[in-house]
Amino acid sequence: MQLVCESTRFNDYLLELKEVDFKNPIIQQKTNDLFTPSQTEIEKVKIAFEFVRDEIAHSWDIQSKRVTCKASDVLTYKEGICYAKSNLLAALLRSLGIPTGFCYQRLMLFDTPEKGYSIHALNAVYLKTLHKWIRLDARGNKKGVDAQFSIDEERLAFSIQEEFDEKDYPFIYMKPHPETIKILEKHRDALKMYKYHLPQSI
């Protein structure tokens, strides 16, 4: 799929935002823990991706009611849904000066169309050394979900089933989609939010 950037300016994908608060001390400390000057750009992206994928739990997987949104809160509590986890991955990479955006898919919420749909968040990262954007999905792996770091063929958490009206949006946004943030800020029970209130389209 041909990805389409919302902006042609890489600096727009490096901005600190309320949700991507990479100047927060806890984010700064984690970048110091994870990264060294000797690591290549690609190594840093892989380390950041695998940290968020593996060390930050997906709220639904652990059946936690806690709702996180800001990257610093996601890191503090080590949990969040995909919207929150994508904020943290963006914060870690933007803190290193690596352009990182937000991408979305429309997926069945569970296993059949009758159970509804939801918007799923992932990230796009620009690798200067390869002159290309790649998409990474740090949602968190489990049975049936096996997202991996890849600079060639995408290995995302979910493949699109067009016959079930699922959709892959090609856009790389500079900021998290406002509907996703609105949902996180409005709710206090992540399980009810996930099951009943996630946006179904953007």
CATH of the domain at 171: 3.10.620.30
pLDDT at 186 over 90: yes
Q: How many domains does the chain have?
A: 1
Q: Looking at residue 142, what DSSP letter applies? A: B
To the nearest whole number, what is the mean pLDDT of the chain?
97
CB 13, CB 7: distance < 8 Å: yes
How many angstroms from the chain centroid is the CA of residue 54? Answer: 13
The whole domain housing 54 covers 4-139+163-197
In a domain, 59, yes or no: yes
Percent of the chain surpassing pLDDT 70: 100
CB 168, CB 183: distance < 8 Å: no
In a domain, 144, yes or no: no
In a domain, 155, yes or no: no
Kind of pairing between the strands at 117-127 and 100-108:
antiparallel
In a domain, 157, yes or no: no
In a domain, 158, yes or no: no
Q: What is the mean pLDDT of the segment spanning 2-26?
A: 98
pLDDT at 14 over 90: yes
> Residue 202's pLDDT is what?
87
Tell me: the pLDDT tens digits for 110-144? 888 988 999 999 999 999 999 999 999 999 999 99
From residue 37, alpha-carbon distances to 40, 44, 100, 149, 198 in Å are: 8, 10, 20, 21, 40
> Residue 110's pLDDT is what?
87
pLDDT at 34 over 90: yes
Q: What is the mean pLDDT of the segment spanning 55-61?
A: 98
In a domain, 47, yes or no: yes
In a domain, 150, yes or no: no
